[in-house]
């Protein structure tokens, strides 16, 4: 079987792909930042909060980690309107990504917190520090340094998982590719270019995270 490669229709629509890639980057970066905030709060609640908070965080984490992301985003976009909450596709996509990555990152950060020696916490208590001060000054930075590679790997996986948001018509890179493919029928060429673009974005995020690590923790990430 002979196949004539024709990338011209794809490159003619390159502006659409670039807009989709930019939205993917925006969604991913915003979800990473908000998801990190959610996960730090939840990890603190699960390790140091009162029992009802620990139960609530545990239920949230188990619910999200044991259900498909596609079902979660469908629930947010199609289910919440039944309660009077209507979100645009891009807003629903962002909320779903934050909720999803927040649950996974909570467990990563919790593991980092529990790796801190109890003697350091006891020293903070002996100095008269309050628990939130101990968490801020003694626990969180060493914990983040310990789990940083795992956390950033989860964030890159989040960026790749964001391709699912095209299922609710969010204008991401995959949705742009689907639209171009439906017009040109150049499926192989379209999805090959999209694959390369996702790969480039993954490498870019990896480089950014390495630079952040060097700036925050003063020495290169171990491989």
Q: Taking Cα atoms as reference points, which of 208, 210, 205 lies closest to residue 21?
A: 205
* Mean pLDDT estimate for the chain: 88
Q: How confident is the model at residue 129 (pLDDT cuts 50, 70, 90)?
A: confident
pLDDT at residue 13 is higher than 60: yes
Q: What is the DSSP code string of the chain?
A: -------HHHHHTHHHHHHHHHHHHHHHHHHHHHHHHHHHHHHHHHHHS-HHHHHHHHHHHHHHHTS-HHHHHHIIIIIGGGGT----HHHHHHHHHHHHHHHHHHHHHHHHHHTS-HHHHHHHHHTT--HHHHIIIIIHHHHHHHHHHHHHHHHHHHHHHGGGGGGGT--SHHHHHHHHHHHH--HHHHHHHHHHHHHHHHHHHHHHHHHHHHHHHSSPPP-
- Topology given in CATH for the domain delimited by 9-217: MetI-like fold (1.10.3720)
pLDDT at position 75 is 96
Q: CB of 109 within 8 A of CB of 143?
A: yes
Kindly report the pTM of this predicted structure. Answer: 0.87
Look up residue 66 and give its two tokens.
Answer: 């044991």
pLDDT at position 223 is 43
Q: What is the pLDDT of residues 171-206, one digit of tens each?
A: 899 999 999 999 888 899 999 999 999 999 999 999
Q: CB of 17 within 8 A of CB of 32?
A: no
Q: Where are the domains of the chain?
A: 9-217
């Amino acid at each position: 079987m002979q196949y004539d490669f024709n990338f011209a229709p794809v490159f003619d629509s390159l502006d659409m792909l670039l807009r989709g890639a930019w939205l993917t980057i925006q969604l991913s970066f915003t979800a990473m930042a908000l998801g990190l905030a959610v996960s730090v709060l939840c990890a603190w609640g699960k390790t140091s909060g009162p029992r009802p908070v620990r139960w609530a965080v545990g239920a949230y984490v188990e619910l999200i980690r044991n259900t498909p992301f596609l079902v979660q985003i469908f629930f947010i976009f199609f289910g919440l309107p039944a309660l009077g909450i209507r979100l645009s596709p891009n807003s629903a996509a962002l909320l779903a990504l934050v909720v999803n990555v927040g649950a996974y990152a909570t467990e990563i950060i919790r593991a980092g917190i529990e790796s801190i020696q109890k003697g350091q916490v006891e020293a903070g208590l002996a100095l008269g520090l309050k628990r939130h001060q101990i968490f801020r000054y003694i626990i969180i930075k060493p914990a983040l340094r310990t789990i940083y590679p795992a956390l950033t790997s989860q964030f890159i996986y989040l960026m790749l998982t964001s391709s699912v948001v095209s299922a609710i018509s969010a204008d991401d890179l995959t949705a742009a590719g689907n639209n171009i493919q439906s017009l040109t029928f150049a499926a192989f060429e379209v999805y090959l270019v999209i694959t390369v673009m996702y790969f480039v974005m993954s490498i870019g995020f990896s480089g950014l995270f390495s630079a952040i690590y060097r700036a925050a923790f003063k020495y290169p990430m171990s491989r």
